[in-house]
Amino acid sequence: MTRSNLHITLSNGDKLQCVADSSSAPEQGYIVEHLLLPLLSFSDAKKELALITEHCTMDEQRTNAEYRYLIDLKNEHIEFYEEHYNQSKNTFKRGINLTGRYISYLKKLETETELFTKRKFRDVSNKELVKRINGLPDFKWDDEGVELHRRSLLSNGAFIYKMQGNTLIILKDEKPQ
């Protein structure tokens, strides 16, 4: 069992801390598939809090936690670190950044459709993809929509879009460092 201390900013800006008591290494899949991906899909603080309460021990931090997750649902960004507890000072300290393990696991989850759209749109920028979707009739942009979602998820907060009326708009589009 791997425990993780979670530091979460809900989509409404509220902050909370809790503990994921089981299967919290990304490679184990549970935390990514049952907590993180659903949280990133909600954009509703009440739903987020209900799911967090279901999977975590609220308002606690564990001294025996192996990992720390910084989950910013407002900016759709997740960071993953080693967690270190200093018993003499009674303090927690963030260790080595392990976010790459989380992103690697997300890439392993790619479906056949996502792999197809990744190849199909590999030379199309995010801006061009959104423009293309906005120019298509409603419900005729399945492949484009799959690719847009895949890019947003793997960007880990560097590319965020939303639907405004019947139009997609880009809220954030940062190039990877």
Please check whether residues 75 and 19 belong to one and the same domain.
yes
Boundary (domain end) residue, out of 107, 123, 146: 107
Please check whether residues 70 and 8 belong to one and the same domain.
yes
List Cβ neighbours of 72 (8 Å cut-off, separation of 6 or more).
8, 9, 78, 157
- pLDDT score at 21: 74
- Is the model's pLDDT at 34 over the cut of 80? yes
Please check whether residues 98 and 14 belong to one and the same domain.
yes
Please check whether residues 59 and 94 belong to one and the same domain.
yes
Helices (H), 21-125: 30-31, 37-42, 45-55, 99-108, 112-120
Please check whether residues 152 and 163 belong to one and the same domain.
yes
Please check whether residues 9 and 86 belong to one and the same domain.
yes
Residue 129, amino acid: L
Please give the average per-residue pLDDT across 35-62, as a whole number.
95
Q: Which helix (H) or strand (E) segment is 153 a member of?
A: helix 142-155
How many structural domains are present in the chain? 2
- Which structural domain, as residue segments, surrounds residue 168? 110-173
Q: Do the Cβ atoms of 113 and 147 come closer than 8 Å?
A: no
Boundary (domain end) residue, out of 92, 107, 122: 107
- pLDDT score at 65: 94
- pLDDT score at 176: 62
Please check whether residues 60 and 120 belong to one and the same domain.
no
Residues 70-109 have pLDDT tens digits of 999 999 999 999 999 999 999 999 999 999 999 999 999 9
Please check whether residues 95 and 135 belong to one and the same domain.
no
Please check whether residues 68 and 150 belong to one and the same domain.
no
- Answer left, alpha or beta for residue 46, where phi above 0 means left and psi between -120 and 50 means alpha: alpha
Please check whether residues 52 and 90 belong to one and the same domain.
yes
Residues 114-147 have pLDDT tens digits of 999 999 999 999 999 999 999 998 778 899 999 9
Please check whether residues 103 and 114 belong to one and the same domain.
no
